[in-house]
Structure 1
Amino acid sequence: MSDDDSIANARSGKTGVEAAPLWERALIEKTVLAAVCEQRTARRWKIFFRLAFLMIFVVMAWRTVSVSSSTGGATGKHAALVSLQGEIVSDQQSNAANLNAALERAFSAEQAAGVILQINSPGGSPVQAGMVNDEIRRLRARYPTKPLYVVVDDICASGAYYIAVAADKIFVDKASIIGSIGVRMDSFGFNSLMSKLGIERRLLTAGRNKALNDPFLPEDKVQKKYMQNLLDEVHQQFIEAVRQGRGKRLQETPDIFSGLVWTGQRSVALGLADGLGDTRYVLRELLKTEKIVDYTVKEGMFDRFARRFGLSAGASAVRALTSQESLQFN
């Protein structure tokens, strides 16, 4: 500020901000306004997060109450229903944790005359399927007077059938798809394409087999044999579970454990299933009740939201391209 400006301001009686030139006043006003806007934004975000946490709490509380009210209020003789729909994978709705929790509640319900496991699934993870198979056998031993019947809709194959064989009886529609007692492992081979594109793979490992079946490297015959032995071992576990569950009802043909599938009608003849029938048939003829209570663990709102926008599918695609293979019963 010049001496002339100071003298002029002194004569007019202006001091501080009022005595400042126009450009300084504008700068001060902008600074103050920016600070005010920043505080408002911070308050808005704080309110948003508080509302979001409140919403999550309300949804969780609602889900807990709804699950309790849908099962805990069941009175009188009824059939306990557990539904297995879709692929059996740890990060999907039909996983071992959800299925086992539902089965535990269904078996422990005092007024439940029996349990119906309704299946419509092509299979999935052998680990998840094996965990459910083990849990069913444990629950059947713990509640010997409470039968478990499997009712198949369109398909019960691979990992889904691994689970089904632990039941007392399996009922199917004549056109249902049953079987596929086998194991598969999916992968890709990109090494030839990389050579054509001039792409060089730079991979460092500690451990001779750490890059086992890497899709970006040429196929190794020794590693391929090792993985085949691994598949055969898991397949044998599947076969033993089927034999244990079906017992003398199973008609072992050369193709029974080959991975083939059969219609429901043919599966009854092979001993893979016990008869033709739906849920109403089991209710009416076996459990002698018309009342049914659903004990299935329901998918949460946020899980449905994520799945609707394809997040799960996107993650699966990325894993398929960037990670090691996974064994599957489908």
Structure 2
Amino acid sequence: MNDNPQWERQLLEKLAMASLVEQRRTRQWKIFFRLAWLVIIGAAVFGLFYTKDEVPGERLIGDGHTATLQLKGVIDSDNDTAEKLITGLNDAYRDKNTRGIIIQANSPGGSPVLSGMVYDEIRRQKKLHPAIPLYVVVEEVCASGCYYIAAAADKIFVDKASIIGSIGVLSDGFGFTGVMEKLGVERRLRTSGENKAMGDPFSPLNPKQEAIRQQLLDDIHQQFISAVKDGRGSRLHNDPDLFSGLIWLGTKSIPLGLADGYGTVHSVARDVIKSEKTVDYTPEDTFPSRFARRLGVEFSSGVKGLFDPRFF
């Protein structure tokens, strides 16, 4: 037995002290791990939202290069097609090493507004930089809105089996009035403005409103035709079906003046621009931009549904 009468108290004090030390260590480790997670999350957020303002070609050293841009998929706000192409064009023209620009096209078309925006930007940039040629190289398809954009290029190159053309406009929809009658469903629609519900699929066709819709399509079609004529000029042949919405294979498009010859990105860079080295200037699609676009698309989808003309 311990002769020290205070041994029990001393033992309790030691145990209490050890417990306090252990609790302090636990709190320190918790703080450490929380800080570590904050650093990891901060780095992830920084990586998502930070984009370095650097032109790709400026990293290259040499006699120059051919700038390439990707025109892929449907031309719409969801894909941010116009903004990407315009941004990429600015970067490519700004780079002193750029000897020529190739738009690599594989698109069925899309929005007439976005197509027209890119067309106008290409024409503007060509006036500012006449020494830098701009070509379009078609892969599988370049139709409707895609061809609208391509018409602004100095030359269009295709494959023998590429699909070209479809110079026309469409606006489609459905009518459910017959189904509603069979089901006994009554449409209770009230508007302020006689044409506010134009195109409503649950209301009977209104001849006056259908004439308005057709006039809108015809006006957009004429804008498309004018852009192609301005861009292609005397190269276009006088064919009655040229602006009817028909499509042609690459082999037929060259005699019609819709394209200038056969070629790929590499052959045009090597043999036409004389700068075989290529640099892709297509902006990367970041998470914040995708989220912002998705939010905007969802917000505007109701309005677009009333009249949504498309170039495909």
Shorter-chain TM-score tier: 0.7 to 0.9
* Letter paired with 1:97: E
Q: CA deviation at 1:71?
A: 3.8
Counterpart of 1:325? 307
Within the alignment, does 1:154 sit opposite 2:140 as a pair? yes
Within the alignment, does 1:240 sit opposite 2:226 as a pair? yes
Once residues 321 and 131 of structure 1 are traced to their aligned partners in structure 2, the CA distance between those partners, rounded to angstroms, is 20
1:263 to 249, 260, 264: 249
| Structure 1 residues 109 and 233, CA gap change in structure 2 (3 angstroms) | same
* Letter paired with 1:88: I
1:177 to 163, 168, 171: 163
Within the alignment, does 1:186 sit opposite 2:172 as a pair? yes
Once residues 310 and 85 of structure 2 are traced to their aligned partners in structure 1, the CA distance between those partners, rounded to angstroms, is 18
Unaligned runs of 5+ in 2: 1-33
Bigger CA drift: 224-233 or 169-178? 224-233
Q: CA deviation at 1:149?
A: 0.6
Within the alignment, does 1:282 sit opposite 2:263 as a pair? no
Once residues 128 and 90 of structure 1 are traced to their aligned partners in structure 2, the CA distance between those partners, rounded to angstroms, is 8
Q: CA deviation at 1:167?
A: 0.3
Q: CA deviation at 1:190?
A: 1.1
Query: Are the aligned partners of 1:74 and 1:293 in contact in 2 as well (CA < 8 Å)?
Result: no
Once residues 165 and 207 of structure 1 are traced to their aligned partners in structure 2, the CA distance between those partners, rounded to angstroms, is 39
Counterpart of 2:49? 60
The one-character-per-residue Cα deviations of 1:67-116 (angstroms, maximum 9, x if unpaired) are 726343133310011110000001214x2111101111111211110100
Q: CA deviation at 1:288?
A: 1.0
Unaligned runs of 5+ in 1: 1-43
| Structure 1 residues 103 and 321, CA gap change in structure 2 (3 angstroms) | closer
Counterpart of 1:27? none
Q: CA deviation at 1:198?
A: 1.9
Once residues 73 and 322 of structure 1 are traced to their aligned partners in structure 2, the CA distance between those partners, rounded to angstroms, is 42
Query: Are the aligned partners of 2:48 and 2:288 in contact in 1 as well (CA < 8 Å)?
Result: no
Query: Are the aligned partners of 1:187 and 1:325 in contact in 2 as well (CA < 8 Å)?
Result: no
The one-character-per-residue Cα deviations of 1:117-144 (angstroms, maximum 9, x if unpaired) are 1100000000000000000000000001
| Structure 1 SS opposite 2:54 | helix
Bigger CA drift: 95-104 or 257-266? 95-104
Query: Are the aligned partners of 1:172 and 1:277 in contact in 2 as well (CA < 8 Å)?
Result: yes
Once residues 90 and 204 of structure 1 are traced to their aligned partners in structure 2, the CA distance between those partners, rounded to angstroms, is 31
| Structure 1 residues 322 and 216, CA gap change in structure 2 (3 angstroms) | farther
* Letter paired with 1:110: K
Structure number with greater CO (CA < 8 Å, separation at least 6) is 2
| Structure 2 SS opposite 1:201 | coil
| Structure 2 SS opposite 1:103 | helix
Within the alignment, does 1:197 sit opposite 2:183 as a pair? yes
Query: Are the aligned partners of 1:185 and 1:325 in contact in 2 as well (CA < 8 Å)?
Result: yes
2:107 to 90, 113, 121: 121
Once residues 50 and 196 of structure 1 are traced to their aligned partners in structure 2, the CA distance between those partners, rounded to angstroms, is 63
* Letter paired with 1:212: M
Matches within 5 A, 1:72-83: 72-76=58-62, 77-83=64-70
Query: Are the aligned partners of 1:178 and 1:263 in contact in 2 as well (CA < 8 Å)?
Result: yes
2:199 to 213, 231, 253: 213
Once residues 107 and 220 of structure 2 are traced to their aligned partners in structure 1, the CA distance between those partners, rounded to angstroms, is 20
Counterpart of 1:168? 154
Q: CA deviation at 1:323?
A: 3.1
| Structure 1 SS opposite 2:201 | coil
Q: CA deviation at 1:300?
A: 1.9
TM-score w.r.t. structure 1 length?
0.77
Once residues 196 and 320 of structure 1 are traced to their aligned partners in structure 2, the CA distance between those partners, rounded to angstroms, is 27
Once residues 306 and 142 of structure 1 are traced to their aligned partners in structure 2, the CA distance between those partners, rounded to angstroms, is 32
Once residues 216 and 140 of structure 1 are traced to their aligned partners in structure 2, the CA distance between those partners, rounded to angstroms, is 48
Counterpart of 1:225? 211
The one-character-per-residue Cα deviations of 1:244-295 (angstroms, maximum 9, x if unpaired) are 0000000121100000000011000100000011111111111112211110
| Structure 1 residues 137 and 53, CA gap change in structure 2 (3 angstroms) | same
The one-character-per-residue Cα deviations of 1:34-55 (angstroms, maximum 9, x if unpaired) are xxxxxxxxxx9xx999976653
Structure 1: which 4+ aligned runs deviate by more than 4 Å? Answer: 47-54, 301-307, 318-322
| Structure 2 SS opposite 1:327 | coil
* Letter paired with 1:57: F
